[in-house]
Chains A and B, each alone.
Chain A
Amino acid sequence: MSQHNIRGTVLDSYGRPLAGATIAVVEGSASFPDMAAVTSDDGSFSLGPLSNGEYTVQAFGPSGNSAQAKAVVRDSSAVVRIRLE
């Protein structure tokens, strides 16, 4: 079974990369690992391995704000950018 990742960047309300944000898959058309990622200094993260399907990821900032994004994994990794307001 083909498995890939959801990769991307979390930004703060100013559009700057946000380090230390927590992000996880919260919904999917397939089963997903229940591990959360913490964004690196450049705001980047990677979640997986994921089977082909549609997923929703949710990021949480240090101040408790959060935002979601949709991602479609189809034979390759999906890339998302989430901006916390």
Chain B
Amino acid sequence: MTDSSGHEEVFNDSMLESEGAQGEASQPETGLETLPVASHAQPDNQDGTGDDVGSERAASEVFLDPYYASYDDDRPASARNLPSMEVIIGPDNRTRINPTTSYPWRAICALKIRSRTGKNYIGTGWFISPRTVMTAGHCVFLHDEGGWAQQIEVIPGRNDGSSPYGSAVSTSFRSVTGWTSSRNRDFDYGCIILPTNKRLGATTGFFGFANRNDATLLSKTLNLSGYPGDKGGNQQWFHALPPKSLTARTIVYNIDTFGGQSGSPVWYLESGNRYAVGVHTNGASSGNSATRIVTDVYNNMLSWKALGA
């Protein structure tokens, strides 16, 4: 897919640093999420046409201004200027998110995926606009199960038997030829576009996202939350750690995940703003990993965001 944004904004790292200094917090922050109080131990497209959307931009090192959307911050005013505090407690590295009705947790969705061969799968997605849900490429295009998914049910903030924001079934998907044609892990990302009458992300809020350079990513604690299959695929579980390593197009970490969390957002928290920097896709004993949001990924996400506005 050619760059449909029409214009690429490029900011160098020094500008990012200066912007950060202007708004520095008055207290040191850990960059870790505050969990809900009740938590305990935590272009390619398918609209019937199948036209591929290719990712053709080289992985050049550019630094884009953070684009974020923090929606309906429902913390009390006295808390909004406070840094986020670490509250993961206990021996289990994962923490359940319960309830799921606060931001950002409610913007993360359980996915019930049905392939064209009739197989069913569990995945995770997250809103970047009222009707655009980011996820892994292999959640929307299943190479050995008929290609494009037959349908995906999106359930924001799913919590056991509860669907607090309802659900939506979609047959409209996007990915890139790096995944759909080449099966290249570095291009394993895609999205789901909800029907026009299902603007669920307008209620839940949606994630911002950013392209960050290596030094910035390595300095952050990364948060990951999704719907693991060992918990039935209906409970949201969370873990956070700094990255282990980076490649040009992936982020590797020892954050605990389980099958079903494919598509989970990987984000960091800074001064109350959340920046997704990757889409979780793979497990491995050497480190789980995400498709990294680099220039072409960012641009495709901008286009997909607009589709679901």
Contact = CB atoms under 8 A, between A and B. Distances in A.
B229 A60 contact: yes
Given A22-B229, A24-B230, A28-B284, A36 B145 contact: no
A26 B258 contact: yes
B187 to A, nearest CB: 13
A28 B259 CA distance: 13
Contacts of B262: 33-35
Given A5-B144, A22-B229, A22-B232, A36 B284 contact: no
Interface in A6-43: 22-40
Nearest to A59: B229
A49 B233 CA distance: 20
A22 B119 contact: no
A35 B285 contact: no
A49 B258 CA distance: 16
A39 B304 CA distance: 32
Contact of A35 (B123, B143, B144): B123
Which secondary structure characterizes the binding site on chain A?
Answer: strand
Interface residues of A, number: 30
Nearest to A22: B229
B284 A35 contact: no
A26 B256 CA distance: 11
A29 B284 CA distance: 8
B239 interface: no
A38 B122 contact: yes
B202 to A, nearest CB: 27
Contacts of B143: 3, 48-49
A35 B122 contact: yes
Given A33-B136, A35-B262, A48-B144, 14 more contacts: A23-B229, A26-B258, A26-B259, A29-B285, A31-B282, A33-B188, A33-B283, A35-B123, A35-B138, A36-B259, A37-B119, A40-B119, A46-B145, A49-B183
Interface of A: 3-5, 22-40, 44-46, 48-49, 58, 60, 66
28 contacts: A3-B183, A22-B122, A22-B232, A22-B259, A24-B229, A24-B258, A25-B259, A27-B285, A28-B283, A28-B285, A30-B284, A31-B185, A33-B138, A33-B188, A34-B136, A34-B260, A34-B262, A34-B281, A34-B288, A36-B121, A36-B123, A36-B228, A36-B260, A37-B119, A38-B122, A46-B117, A49-B138, A60-B232
